[in-house]
Every structure is written in structure tokens, then in C-alpha cells.
Amino acid sequence: MVFSSITFLFYFLPIVLAIYYIVPNKFKNTILLISSLIFYFYGEPKYVLLMIISIILTYIFGILIDKYKKQSKLFLALAIIISIGLLIYFKYINFIIENINLWLQNKIDFIYVALPIGISFYTFQMISYLIDVYKGQAKVQKNIFKIAMYISLFPQLIAGPIVRYTDIQQQIEKREYTIQKFSLGIRRFIIGLGKKVLIADVLGNLNIIILGSNENSILHYWLYAISVMLQIYFDFSGYSDMAIGLGKMLGFEFPENFNYPYTATSITDFWRRWHISLSTWFRDYIYIPLGGNRVSNIKKIRNILIVWLLTGLWHGSAWNFVIWGLYFGILLIIEKQIPNKYLEKIPKFIRRIYTLLIVMISFIIFNGNNLSNILQNIIGLFKIGSIPLISEESLYYFKSYFIVIIISIIGSTEILKKIKSIKAQKIINIIEPIFLLLVLTISTSYIIDGSFSPFLYFRF
């Protein structure tokens, strides 16, 4: 079940919210647990048992880690091995077999196994909970239903943000319900829905057209690169907005996952703003335990490469994701070798252009099917003089999608957020409800028409 579907918007969500607010507070967690299991069962009926088994193991290992201090490291290691082992089997087994066959000239048969939706996200949540219990940063949860509710909580179950147990530990026991919070949740959800349906899906359609075309012009390649870059941002940030909005409706405060990443002035800054819950997870549970910045320069480079190799693999079981991760890792290593005092001398607008160009190329890699396709789309951006600057076809699609692209560019910046004048704010307060109703109506029309697609991050 996806958020941008009639089933969720007009059946599942209204029924869950109605029951949730009717029952006494002591039953709200139970309603959320049941609702979340139904939500997951609807999309992955055969893998709901896998998630339940994972939850039970997490609960048991949490108790063992807390109770038996001397053996806690052993229990933690065993729990991580099991969790990562399941993730490797379901997500990477055929990628491993494919490469063994390629390099060793074997003929091992592929294993038919479907990727359970959201397994990358809930696996990381379980691991962070156990590590925090081991470190004493989180109090062990002795109620299995509460730990099950935390892991399976439907707003963030499928594509994040990766909500750590420490983020909502107190909220699981007690949370605040107000009309203002609920209304802010609705507002955030509608904005996310609009990002997904009216921008990401429209740009996704443009990308499909471009990839299916035999067109060969500079404008063609730039149109593809920019639309891919914007599509991925609005698709994923749209989901995060919807998840955070749903959390508010249910009384939770989830961490922010995006902070206008396309306004970043460096790659380091970009990753402080993009998929924040993932980048901080790798920082806290991989990079810092490896020694972080407190080691020699060689080891620091090693740590960065390990983290970004894993970041790439986390996104998918294909070589383009590995290349994508190492691409960022190498760029971050280069940036960290240059003292800040030199970087700060470069005008900010040049740093922003450099960052956008690097990120744009990264998403060509991210979205590529094979190395040949990736290189063609990157080189095509700079083949000035070798191919036509524009063509009738590329110009047609540029004009057709121009308004969507401009809206997307504006929406990915802080321009609208920085409107602080009192008069402007009064106008916004009047217009905003009408705007939100319009976004909801048009988005619903698109959904009913079938003009939408699943979230890109569902495959992770």
C-alpha cells in the first residue's frame, strides 16, 4: 500500500485515524501496531512473517544485551549478524551469485527471492536500537508490543526516515495530541503528496520518454540530467514529508530527512542536508566506531571509503550503486584534504554550481542501467560541437515540461520559506488553505486517473 493511492487516502488512513482517536490513550499503541501490520500485509503478505520474526529476535536480543552485561557484546554481534544476514540474502544474494559466475566462470543458478519492501529501513532501525541499548543510550523496551509498534510503525516503515528508538522512546510511552499539531500534519502530508504526484511523477514520465528516444542533442542530455535530479529529490522528500505529516497526525515528532540539499555549497554540506537520517546513521554506527576523524589520514580515507561503499550498496544490489557511493566517497576525501579557509575564499555561487553539477552527474550514475548508458548520458552533457545543441524533439519536450521544471527548481530552494514580511505572511495565511485544497484535489485526480507510480525508494 502506498501513500499516494486511493486505498490509503480514502479507506485505510481515515479508518485508522477515526479508531485511533476514539479509543483511550492506553490502546493507541495497540491500534498503531495492528494498523501497521495490516498496512505491511497489504503490500507484502508473504513477508509480514519475516518482519514479525525480526521483531521478536530484536526484542529477545535487546533483553539479553541489557540483562547479561558480560556477554552483551556477543549477543549484539550475533543479533547484527542475523539482521545483516537476512538483508544480504533477500537483497544481495543474486548480485553475489552474478559476480561469482562472472569472475570465476561458474554457473551457479540464481535464487528466486523477492525483495521485502522496506527491509533496508527496518533492519537499520533494529540495529540502531540494539546498539543504543548496548551503549546504554537507550533503555531496553521490555514490552514486546511496544518494540513491535516502533519497528513496524507504518508512516516510516517503507521508505523512512530512519527513526531511531532514541528519537521516539518517550513518545512511545506518552505523546501530545493537539489540533494545531494535527493540522500541521495534514499540511505536511498534502505538500508531500503534491511533491510526489504533481512533480516527481510528471518528471518521471519525462525521463521515460527521453530514455526511450533516439534523440541526440545537448539539450536532450541536459533535460534528462536535470529532470532525473529533480525527480529523485521530489519523490523521496515527498515521501519523507508525508511520513512526517502522518507522524504528527498520530502525535509523533519524526526527525527531518531533507534540508534543501540543492542549496548546498559543497558535497559535505549536501550530505548534511540529503537523506539526513541515513547519513547520520552511517556516521554514528559505522564511521565513528571505525575511528572517524580521530585517526591518521590514511585510516580516515579508509573509513570514508568503507562508509560510502556501504552507502552505495545500501541503495541497491547493482554496480551503478557501488560506483555512485564510491564517487561521493572520493569527492568527500578530496574536499577534506582542502583546508576550509581556502574553500571559503571561493564565491558561494560558484561553490553551489560546482555542487549541483557533481550531484547531477551522481544521479545519472544512480539512475543508470549499465556503464555504457551512464557514460553516454554524462559525456553527452559536454559534447558541444560534436552533436546538435538542440533539436525539434528536445525543444518540444523542454517547452512542454518547462513550467514543471521551473516550479521544481523554485520548490527545491528556500525562496518561498524566506518570505518574512508581515503583509506577505498575511496573504500566505489566506491563500495557503486554498492552495492545499487545490493540491489535494489535483493530486487525487491524477491518482484516480492512474497517472502515478510507486515511490523510487520502495526498492531499497
Helix/strand/coil for 387 = strand
d(CA 80, CA 82): 5
- What lies within 8 Å, CB to CB, of 192 at 6+ separation is 3, 237, 238, 239, 240, 241, 242, 243, 244, 245
- Measured at the CA of 218, the angle between CA 214 and CA 220, to 5 degrees, comes to 45
Nearest-CA neighbor of 460 among 324, 273, 331?
Answer: 324
Residues 6+ away with beta carbon under 8 Å from 156:
121, 162, 163, 243, 247, 254
Which residues, 6+ apart, have CB-to-CB distance to 252 below 8 Å?
153, 155, 168, 171, 175
Query: For 26, which DSSP code?
Result: G
User: Is residue 328 within a helix (H) or strand (E), and if so which, with residue range?
Assistant: helix 319-337
Distance CA 323, CA 309 (A): 8
Rounded Cα–Cα distance for residues 439 and 80 (Å): 43
Q: Facing residues of 378 across strands?
A: none
Residue 384 β-bridge partners: 387
Q: Is 315 a catalytic residue?
A: yes
At 84, list the grid cell.
545483516
| C-alpha–C-alpha distance, residues 189 and 325, integer Å | 30
DSSP string, 90-148: HHHHHHHHHHHHHHH---PPPP--PPPTTHHHHHHHHHHHHHHHHHTSS-----HHHHH
Query: Residues 315, 321, 374, 446: which is the catalytic one?
Result: 315
Which grid cell is 144? 514486546
- Cell numbers given for 176: 501530545
Q: Which residues neighbour 21 within 8 Å (Cβ) at sequence distance 6 or greater?
A: 177
What is the spatial distance between Cα 106 and Cα 100, in angstroms, rounded to a whole number?
7
Residues recognised as catalytic: 315
